């Protein structure tokens, strides 16, 4: 049986690129995403290249709602028969000054970015354990450093990083759990049409990264494949910072 991986927020952005790489690597993929418009677009796009009824499936749902997650996981089992891996990728941000950040904003961001990962991990864990599989949490360098007005987002990603090592211990030795913390990743080409904007990156944008360029979604997708690979079974509880070296760069004014 081909291995099945669940990807949350897989209809656009980094998640869409991860889905593409998983399919190219021979995985089957089940996607939970809240954006119907994005799902409609990506289903149409994928239908021209793959067999959508066989190896990839999209379902509309809210990762922060337990019922949506429970129904989605059971539907995935009914459709595919098992789960090898989970990529907790779904994420939102509501960056605004602290004085303007409402409690509703706070709960919304933590609900998707942190509670969603908890719920999906909880409901998929028994099946992933049966497959001796892996969980990959898409975290952020904002778990380690911040820009102004990112309290909710940074807190959610810091929580996700802590959840990663907690799950790695609780679910061992049958499930490996790791995190990836992207830095600046340009994803314009992976957004739905109505949200897609032409982005022009400057030489300064690229040169401020020690690696010499701004990141691409494929940089993250390739690390996801690495961490899902059973050949790398000695790696768990870790956070892999994919940021072109920015978090190691000392900046003097």
Give the pLDDT score at 61.
Answer: 98
The CATH superfamily assigned to 4-248 is: NAD(P)-binding Rossmann-like Domain (3.40.50.720)
Q: What is the mean pLDDT of residues 34-62?
A: 85
Q: What's the confidence (pLDDT) of residue 1?
A: 47
What is the phi-psi region of residue 210: left when phi exceeds 0, alpha when psi lies from -120 to 50, beta otherwise?
alpha
Is residue 218 within a helix (H) or strand (E), and if so which, with residue range? helix 217-228
pLDDT of residue 250: 87
For residues 227-237, average pLDDT: 98
Catalytic residue among 84, 127, 153, 190: 153
Residue-wise pLDDT tens digits, 30-39: 999 999 999 9
**Average pLDDT along the chain:** 94
Confidence (pLDDT) at 216: 96
What's the pLDDT score for residue 51? 58
Residue 30 has a pLDDT of 97
SS3 178: strand
Catalytic residue status for 153: yes
For the segment 168-195, the average pLDDT, to the nearest whole number, is 92
What pLDDT, on the 0 to 100 scale, is given for residue 50?
60
pLDDT higher than 70, residue 48:
no
> Is this structure's pTM higher than 0.85?
yes
pLDDT reported for residue 225: 98
Write b or e for each residue in 147-166: b if 16 or more Cβ atoms lie within 10 A of its Cβ, otherwise e: eebbbbbbbbbbbbbebbbe
* CB-based contacts of 33, cutoff 8 Å, min separation 6: 8, 9, 10, 11, 12, 15, 39, 58, 59, 60, 61, 90
Q: Of 90, 93, 31, 103, which is closest to residue 64 (Cα–Cα)?
A: 90
Strands 239-242 and 4-8: unpaired
CB-based contacts of 50, cutoff 8 Å, min separation 6 = 23, 56
38: left (phi over 0), alpha (psi -120 to 50) or beta: alpha
**Is the pLDDT reported for residue 83 higher than 50?**
yes
Per-residue pLDDT at 195: 74
């Amino acid at each position: 049986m081909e291995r099945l991986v669940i990807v949350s927020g897989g209809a656009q952005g980094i998640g869409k690129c991860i889905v593409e790489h998983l399919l190219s690597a021979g995985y089957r993929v089940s996607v939970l995403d809240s954006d119907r418009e994005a799902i409609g677009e990506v289903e149409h796009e994928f239908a021209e290249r793959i067999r959508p009824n066989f190896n990839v499936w999209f379902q509309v749902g809210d990762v922060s709602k337990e019922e949506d997650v429970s129904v989605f996981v059971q539907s995935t089992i009914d459709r595919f028969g098992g789960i090898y891996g989970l990529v907790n990728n779904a994420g939102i941000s509501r960056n605004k000054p602290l004085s303007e950040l409402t409690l509703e904003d706070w709960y919304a961001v933590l609900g998707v970015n942190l509670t969603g990962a908890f719920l999906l991990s909880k409901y998929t864990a028994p099946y992933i354990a049966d497959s001796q599989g892996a969980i990959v949490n898409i975290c952020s360098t904002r778990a380690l450093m911040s820009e102004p007005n990112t309290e909710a987002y940074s807190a959610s990603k810091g929580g996700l990083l802590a959840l990663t090592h907690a799950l790695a211990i609780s679910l061992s030795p049958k499930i490996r759990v790791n995190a990836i913390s992207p830095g600046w990743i340009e994803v314009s080409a992976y957004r739905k049409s109505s949200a897609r904007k032409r982005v022009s990156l400057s030489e300064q944008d690229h040169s401020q990264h020690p690696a010499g360029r701004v990141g691409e979604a494929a940089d993250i997708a390739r690390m996801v494949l690495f961490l899902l690979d059973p050949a790398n079974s000695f790696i768990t509880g870790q956070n892999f910072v994919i940021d072109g070296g920015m978090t190691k760069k000392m900046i003097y004014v």
